[in-house]
């Protein structure tokens, strides 16, 4: 009896369509979020994350509608976020059908946002998303979609986020994101050793071996990917069978 390592597909959406950037740039239209959500749900995904990547105020209603339509397709846990600035934004996403809300830039600007969300909805519903990049010979937290350094040290920010009530850390390596050069296992292991909550590794997944490495060497509790699943390059079922064959505890769908 072991807690399974999770495989989490991520849908980056803009104006109701799934898009995926390379190193946070160059958006490319990919697919319909409901269609992908239904596919992942049946393929054995352990969870789904939906991110509003442009997070414009005008697009808010469209995003909430997408959250609600995607929720209809799922009987697995569902996290949504992007542009969550206030308690009410988190409430709207949860009411639309998400189980957890993820916060990023606004939490760096005003860390109390994490405490407010955790007090209202419980830590299990609050995911602190951090975009991290090597800068000044350390790992720094970047904000605004990876465009701007916050000047915060990644490990210190992860610890603060958890002490304020974040129940999970979604850790994205900006250096690796969209590059298909593998997860940053060193960054993941560093953050996982600093916090008492689960860490979801993100950025750079390409091969099945990348997932094995981030669980074995990176000590990740979960691994997230987007493009490689969307393009049907890899099926989630095949990935999980590969991991199970190498001793990683995973939930195999039947």
Q: Which residues bind another protein (CB under 8 A)?
A: 1-4, 6, 41, 46, 71-72, 75-77, 94-95, 97, 99, 119-125, 167-168, 196-198, 221-222, 251, 253-254
Beta strands at 100-103 and 168-173: parallel, antiparallel or unpaired: unpaired
What are the φ/ψ torsions at residue 67 (nearest 5 degrees)?
A: -55, -45
d(CA 153, CA 158): 9
Residue 222 exposed, middle or buried by CB count within 10 Å (0-12, 13-18, 19+): buried
- Find the catalytic residue in 14, 52, 131, 210: 131
Tell me the closest approach of the beta carbon of residue 1 to another protein, in angstroms.
Answer: 4
Among residues 105 and 188, whose Cβ is nearest to another protein? Answer: 188
Tell me the closest approach of the beta carbon of residue 195 to another protein, in angstroms.
Answer: 8
Is-contact 150 108, C-beta < 8 A? yes
Among residues 168 and 210, whose Cβ is nearest to another protein? Answer: 168
Beta strands at 29-31 and 138-143: parallel, antiparallel or unpaired: unpaired
CA distances from 197 to 128, 200, 210, 219 (A): 11, 10, 22, 12
Among residues 87 and 180, whose Cβ is nearest to another protein? Answer: 87
Q: Please indicate whether residue 52 is annotated as part of the active site.
A: no
Residue 97 exposed, middle or buried by CB count within 10 Å (0-12, 13-18, 19+): middle
Q: Please indicate whether residue 184 is annotated as part of the active site.
A: no
Among residues 184 and 221, whose Cβ is nearest to another protein? Answer: 221
Among residues 30 and 125, whose Cβ is nearest to another protein? Answer: 125
Long-range (24+ apart) CB contacts under 8 A made by 123-126 are 123/165, 123/166, 123/167, 123/197, 124/100, 124/167, 125/94, 125/99, 125/100, 125/101, 125/167, 126/90, 126/100, 126/101, 126/102, 126/165, 126/166, 126/167, 126/168
Catalytic positions are: 12, 131
């Amino acid at each position: 009896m072991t807690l399974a390592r999770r495989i989490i597909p991520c849908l980056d959406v803009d104006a109701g369509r799934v898009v995926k950037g390379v190193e946070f740039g160059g958006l490319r239209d990919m697919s319909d979020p409901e269609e992908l959500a239904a596919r992942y749900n049946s393929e054995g995904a352990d969870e789904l994350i939906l991110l509003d990547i442009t997070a414009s105020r005008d697009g808010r209603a469209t995003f909430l509608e997408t959250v609600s339509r995607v929720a209809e397709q799922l009987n697995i846990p569902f996290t949504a976020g992007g542009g969550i600035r206030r308690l009410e934004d988190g409430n709207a996403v949860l009411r639309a059908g998400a189980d957890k809300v993820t916060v990023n830039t606004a939490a760096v600007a005003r860390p109390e946002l994490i405490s407010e969300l955790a007090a209202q909805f419980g830590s299990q519903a609050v995911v602190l998303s951090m975009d991290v990049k090597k800068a000044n010979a350390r790992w720094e937290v970047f904000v605004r979609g990876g465009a701007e350094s916050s000047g915060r040290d990644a490990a210190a920010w992860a610890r603060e986020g958890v002490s304020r009530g974040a129940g999970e850390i979604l850790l994205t390596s900006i250096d690796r994101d969209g590059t298909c050069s593998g997860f940053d296992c060193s960054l993941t292991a560093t953050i996982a050793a600093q916090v008492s909550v689960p860490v979801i590794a993100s950025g750079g997944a390409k091969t099945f071996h990348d997932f094995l490495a981030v669980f074995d060497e990176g000590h990740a509790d979960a691994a997230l990917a987007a493009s490689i699943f969307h393009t049907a390059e890899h099926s989630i079922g095949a990935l999980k069978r590969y991991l199970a064959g190498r001793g990683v505890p995973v939930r195999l769908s039947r």
